[in-house]
Amino acid sequence: MNVLELKQISKIYSKNNGDRIKAADDINLVVKKGEAIGIVGESGSGKSTLAKLIAGMIEPTSGQILFNGEVISQYSRKALKSYYAKMQMVFQNPLDTFSPKMKISSYLIQPMLNHGYMTKSEAFKHLSQWMMRVGLDGSYLDKYPSELSGGQLQRVVIARALSLNPQLVIFDECTSALDASIQKKIIDLIVNIEHEAAFTSVFITHDLTLACDICDRIYIMNE
Ligand code: ADP
Ligand code: MG
pLDDT digits (tens, 9 = 90+) for 124-182: 888 888 899 999 999 999 999 999 999 999 999 999 999 888 999 999 999 999 999 99
Question: What pLDDT is attached to residue 125?
Answer: 86
> What are the backbone angles phi and psi of residue 199, rounded to the nearest 5°?
-125, 160
Question: What pLDDT is attached to residue 197?
Answer: 84
152 lines ligand 1 (CB under 6 A): no
Atom of ligand 1 minimally distant from the CA of 49: 6
Residues with CB in 5 Å of ion ligand 2:
47-48
Q: Which of 49, 57, 61, 220 to mutate to test the pocket of ligand 1 (most atoms within 8 A of CB)?
A: 49
Q: Which ligand is nearest to the CA of 44?
A: 1
21 lines ligand 1 (CB under 6 A): yes
What's the Cα-to-Cα distance from 159 to each of 3, 58, 92, 145, 201, rounded to whole Å?
22, 25, 15, 14, 15
For range 5-24, the mean pLDDT:
95
Q: pLDDT-derived band of residue 58, with 50, 70 and 90 as boundaries?
A: very high
Q: What is the mean pLDDT of the chain?
A: 92
Q: Mark residue 25 as left, alpha or beta (left: phi above 0; alpha: psi -120 to 50; beta: remaining).
A: beta
Nearest in space to 55 (alpha carbons), one of 94, 85, 28: 85
15 lines ligand 1 (CB under 6 A): yes
For range 59-68, the mean pLDDT:
96
Question: What pLDDT is attached to residue 95?
Answer: 83
Question: What pLDDT is attached to residue 34?
Answer: 94
For residue 125, the number of C-alpha atoms closer than 13 Å in the C-beta half-sphere is: 6
Q: pLDDT-derived band of residue 117, with 50, 70 and 90 as boundaries?
A: low
Q: Which ligand is nearest to the CA of 41?
A: 1
Q: pLDDT-derived band of residue 122, with 50, 70 and 90 as boundaries?
A: confident
pTM of the model: 0.93
Q: Look at ligand 1, atom 26, and give the residue with the nearest C-alpha.
A: 13
The SS3 assignment for 223 reads coil
For residue 31, the number of C-alpha atoms closer than 13 Å in the C-beta half-sphere is: 27
Q: pLDDT-derived band of residue 94, with 50, 70 and 90 as boundaries?
A: confident
